[in-house]
Amino acid sequence: MRYQPLPADLYKKNRHKFMAQMKPNSIAVFNSNDIYPISADSTLPFAQHRDIFYLTGVDQEESILLLFPDAKDPKNREILFLKETNDHIKVWEGEKLTKEKATELTGIENVHWLQDFEALLKKLAFQAERIYINTNEHYRAATEVETREDRFIKKAKKMFPGHKFERSNPILQRLRSVKEPEEIAQIQKACNITEAGFRRILDKVQPGLKEYELEAEFAHEFLRQGSKGFAYTPIIASGPNANVLHYIQNDAEIKDGDLILMDVGAEYGNWASDMTRCVPANGKFSPRQKEVYEAVLRVKDAAAKMLKPGVIWADYQDKVGRIMEKELIKLGLLTEEDIKNENPEWPAYKKYFMHGTSHHMGLDTHDYGILEEPMQAGMVFTVEPGIYIPEEGIGVRIEDDYVIQEEGEPVNLMKSIPITVEEIEALMAK
Ligand code: GLY
Ligand code: MN
Ligand code: MN
């Protein structure tokens, strides 16, 4: 395995937290993702569904977790189903989890091969009243693809028309949004790998390179350090491309005088990191680039201080907007008049800062978490204000990942990644 898995105790704890939220006499089922096809026999690399991973640590296709906390026979309280392996399969497909290794990894004693799933599910479901199914209720989810989980849901509803169905997802949204210390340590590793990638590119940046050459340097460093690669599609946007918020082509030539926005994060053991830094192509910020950059940095620092238990995301977003509008006035981009006449539904600052300041970050880059509920200690949020000025060919975003604390300021997991104009210029001058 490329990464150091977290201890089985963590997964046991995660399952107990989930089971404690289930209604009596219920079963819950969680499926792996499919391996997605391209065409012919080509496939995309496997990426595990984060929920079964959160509950078991199993990073393998065709795995199923069944939880039945009130099962009469205690061995049926937690059952893991895995794709069968044996010496023959090992020759053709390589190492898969054996039952013994799976128990060691997950802390689940009762491990079956996948072919036992339907019969055992039937037997146990007829002892239960409810079945928890796992629909994707993420506020940004938009996919046309039918997942393995979706297929299971359809099948379960057909197989058990008399049962009551319950939703796992709100429970998982709440649990996964508050991280255990071991989980934060894994995110910290991902952040550290991102830092190594950023330091590597600072030595390489120069006019004349293609944006993808910087992407390649990040990828090289990430893979070298045991990451599977980018936690999300990276954005390497030079000059005016930085004003396209989801620019992922990364195919333009970097020009002298460009500021390059890099929104890049490594994954580690399926945990994400999410960083944005901007650097000048020629090693020196122009006076205007510096002015805009430092305004964004002040907003980032002020916003981060506001991340505390009890805060509601929408109120926080409003307050950050108010700080941003002062900076935009100083930069000559807005006037007091603009603010006075603004449409409250679309405040004036949104002309230059049109996205959210923060999102939950964890196993998914835009992680689970119910934004309408108060923030809690142990939640990890990005802080990523930006100022985008297409008419000047400048786009700046700065992004760090923070852990909310019971008391005091949040901990910045990216505090050692160079961020000030002076630090970046000094490192690029070397
Ligand atoms: N990299 C995606 C984001 O910053 O939200
Ligand atoms: Mn982000
Ligand atoms: Mn980002």
The answer to whether residue 1 is domain-embedded is: no
Banded pLDDT at 430 (limits 50, 70, 90): confident
Ligand 1 pocket residues where CB is under 6 Å? 232, 263, 274, 359, 365, 384, 399
Q: Are residues 264 and 166 in the same domain?
A: no
CATH number assigned to the domain comprising residue 205 = 3.90.230.10
Residues ≥6 apart with Cβ < 8 Å to 409:
304, 305
| 261 plus 393 within the same structural domain | yes
Asked whether residue 285 is domain-assigned, the answer is: yes
Looking at the structure of the chain, the number of domains it has is 2
Nearest-CA residue for ligand 1 atom 4 is 274
Q: How far apart are the first and last CA of the chain?
A: 36
CA distance 312 to 317: 9
How far apart are alpha carbons 398 and 387 in whole angstroms? 9
**Token reading at 128:** 């239960």
What is the CATH number for 98?
Answer: 3.40.350.10
Domain end call among 138, 160, 177: 177
Q: How many CA atoms, within 13 angstroms, populate the side-chain half-sphere of residue 14? A: 30
Question: What is the tens place of the pLDDT at every residue in 145-181?
Answer: 999 999 999 999 999 999 999 999 999 999 999 999 9
- Paired strand residues for 111: 80
Average pLDDT over residues 238-244: 97
Q: Tell me what percent of the chain is helix, strand and coil, each rounded to the nearest 5.
A: 40, 15, 45
CA of 428 to the centre of ligand 1 (A): 25
Please answer whether residues 69 and 22 qualify as being in contact, where contact means their C-beta atoms are separated by less than 8 angstroms: yes
Q: How far apart are CA 392 and CA 395, in angstroms?
A: 9
Alpha helices in 331-414 (DSSP H): 336-340
Q: Which domain holds residue 167?
A: 8-177
Q: Determine the Cα angle at 428 with ends 423 and 430, to 5°.
A: 105
What confidence score (pLDDT) does residue 252 get? 98
CA of residue 79 to ligand 2 center, whole Å: 36
- 235 and 124, same structural domain? no
The set of catalytic residues is 41, 246, 263, 274, 355, 359, 366, 384, 388, 397, 399
Q: Which residues surround ligand 3, an ion (CB under 5 A)?
A: 263, 274, 399
**What's the confidence (pLDDT) of residue 372?**
96
Give me the residue label for tokens 């169905």: 165
The string of pLDDT tens digits covering residues 77-115 is 999 999 998 888 888 888 899 999 999 999 999 999 999
Distances (CA, A) of 342 to 238, 241, 247, 335, 347: 31, 28, 29, 11, 6
Residue 2 lies in a domain: no
Model confidence band, residue 188 (pLDDT cutoffs 50, 70, 90): very high
Tokens of 315: 């109120």
| pLDDT of 36 | 96
**pLDDT by residue (tens digit) across 118-139?**
999 999 999 999 999 999 999 9
Are 190 and 271 members of one domain? yes
Q: Which of 139, 277, 380, 382 to mutate to test the pocket of ligand 1 (most atoms within 8 A of CB)?
A: 382
Q: Where are the beta strands (DSSP E) in 83-160?
A: 110-113, 130-133
Closest approach atom of ligand 1 to CA 355: 5
394-409 pLDDT, tens digit per residue, is 999 999 999 999 999 9
Q: Alpha helix locations (H) across 244-312?
A: 287-305
